[in-house]
A and B are shown apart, each in its own frame.
Chain A
Amino acid sequence: MPDTDQHLAQEPLRVSILAQGGTLIASIHTALDDSQLVRFQRDLMDQIGRRRARGVIVDVAALDVIDSFATHTLRSLGAAARLRGARTVVVGIRPSVALAMVTWGLTLEPVHTALDLEEGIALLEAALDHA
């Protein structure tokens, strides 16, 4: 783990960010509160620059709630990553979470979504091939 992750590593690991080729894979393991989400966004942006990533996958399969703040964070993360030259795909949204999100009128657009990690990687590859 790079040393900037220290403040995350001090407590039980809530998010892991792995680099795989030109893609960063960020897995959220437990529910994050608002300040942890902000920190997650900052760390991820930092890593995109350092690793020169062209794709970002955020795996939210472990979350059973994605509220308006989390939605907002994921959207702005996607927009900011785009400005730094990386495409973002959110993967692993559960059926119940998807249902709750549309009921509350929450949307992740323009960030792309995919069923799971495998699909997310395929989607990124297709997008990058196009570009």
Chain B
Amino acid sequence: MSAGGWEGVATNGSPEQGEGGEEQGGRTALLSELVSHLRDKRTQLREQWARRIGDAHLLSAMTEQEIFTEATSVYDNYVGVLETGSVQELQQYARDLSERIIPRGVETHEVVGIVLLLRDVLARSLFEKYRDDFELLDRVLDAYEPAANRIANTVAVSFVEERERVIRQQQDSLRELSTPVLQVRERLLILPIIGVLDTQRAQQLTDQLLRGIRTHRAKVVVIDITGVPDVDETVADHLVRTVDASRLMGAGVIITGLSSEIAQTLVAIGADLGKMNTVGDLQGGIEEAERTLGFTVTRTADAGH
């Protein structure tokens, strides 16, 4: 679909070209008349619109001044789209606008709401201007409505898309943040898990760990679960799988950070952790891993002076 959407319709049907062209010409003429009317009444209509935004309690997160500035831009863009038939600029503007206002907590219904209000304000002004000639009004609205609806659509879609992009971005960064695989000695990795360990996260974490094992050629991995709030059967199950998968890649796993409460819970629910190598805390886990790998850590005599 080209940017000049509704203009494209009439040129498609070649047998009706004459009639279609005529109608098209009429519609274009109407639109340009409409545009100049909206330009003339700009100040008045814009104020009317801003007032209705205030009455409807929309955009409450923004100051009056900000609303007025944005309203002016939206208004000009709106009229621009009616004039050119191209929503590209509006799309760009809507995206920028969304980027600015999403962090401030503006909701989808507010953005859609203000655009619909503008549509209504403009429609009313057209009604007022042409009310003496109903046939003309009908034709004016025929020209105006599809364009106005398309604008509302464009703004809403741009806003939602921008919002989704932000959400995706946040999810991605959250995911990466939440699973650092760190090398502390040659062939020794630690994986401190912080936060809830659900199925999706467990899988993605295991995946990251396995890649880490390959990249660092790790032989031992210490997984610390001090930061996992609820360790139940499901979590235990995920951990068993992670251990098994690591073993398939030739790396042994030591689990650390099981609090006394969690340890008792796991025993009480009968979770099968028999195959797992567990050590009380992270330090103990690292020491155990060092023994396995043949490292010995000694304190030099003059240290601590």
User: A91 vs B213: C-alpha distance in the bound complex, in angstroms?
Assistant: 13
Task: For the complex, count residues of A whose C-beta is within 8 A of B.
Answer: 19
B235 to chain A, nearest CB (A): 15
Judge if B223 is at the interface, Cβ distance under 8 Å: no
Q: Is the CB of B249 within 8 A of A113?
A: yes
Q: Is the CB of A114 within 8 A of B210?
A: no
Residues on A with C-beta less than 8 A from B242 are 102
List A residues 5-19 near B (Cβ within 8 Å). none
Q: Is the CB of B206 within 8 A of A115?
A: no
Judge if B207 is at the interface, Cβ distance under 8 Å: yes
Q: Is the CB of B206 within 8 A of A99?
A: yes
Residues on B with C-beta less than 8 A from A91 are 250
Judge if B124 is at the interface, Cβ distance under 8 Å: no
Using A115-B213, A115-B249 as known contacts, say yes or no to A95 and B207 having CB atoms under 8 A apart. Answer: yes
Judge if B248 is at the interface, Cβ distance under 8 Å: yes
Residues on A with C-beta less than 8 A from B246 are 98
Q: Is the CB of A99 within 8 A of B251?
A: no
Q: Is the CB of B241 within 8 A of A102?
A: yes
Judge if B211 is at the interface, Cβ distance under 8 Å: yes
User: A91 vs B210: C-alpha distance in the bound complex, in angstroms?
Assistant: 14
In the A-B complex, the 4 residue pairs with the smallest Cβ-Cβ separation, listed nearest first, are: A95-B210, A114-B250, A115-B250, A98-B248
Beyond A93-B249, A95-B245, A98-B245, 13 extra complex contacts between A and B, CB < 8 Å: A95-B213, A95-B249, A96-B210, A98-B249, A99-B203, A99-B206, A99-B245, A102-B242, A108-B248, A113-B250, A114-B250, A115-B249, A115-B250
